[in-house]
Amino acid sequence: MYAIRYANSSDKNFWFNNDKNMDESMFENKIWNSLSYIITEGSMRIGLLRSSLFRDKIPFCNLLYIDEEYRNMGYDKILLLYWEQDMRARGHDLVMVSSFLGDMKYMFYRETGYQESGGIILPDDNNCKSMEIIMTKKL
């Protein structure tokens, strides 16, 4: 049976093994502001979701991660919908995500009701240009 909760300091090792784009002070800030979530199956941590506030007011899902052995089992959708419900309960009526065009996450977000709202081109690690699509969903 799965459970979802806000991340806390006991999740630090799991978090940093799976999220290479956050430092300790940012992790503590996310915990303090209840903007990061852990999904567990039994006693096992199997995934995480990290969010922030775009322009200090629109919830933005920065990272949605599920351990490889638990992928394609619906945990990503469960975690995303939980985050959306939490953001709605906090008074937000719009949420945001982003994905590279053509990435599997892009189709996942489309299937869960997100619509394209624009995009930006950022250089990737190979100095190629990749379009990152910004997507929004009204709650």
Domain, as residue range, for 73: 2-138
The whole-number average pLDDT for the span 49-66 is 97
The pLDDT value given to residue 96: 98
Q: Encode pLDDT of 30-50 as tens digits.
A: 999 999 999 999 999 999 999
Q: Is 125 exposed, middle or buried (0-12, 13-18, 19+ CB in 10 A)?
A: exposed
What's 93's domain CATH number?
3.40.630.30
Domain count, the chain: 1
Task: Give me the amino acid identity at 50.
Answer: R
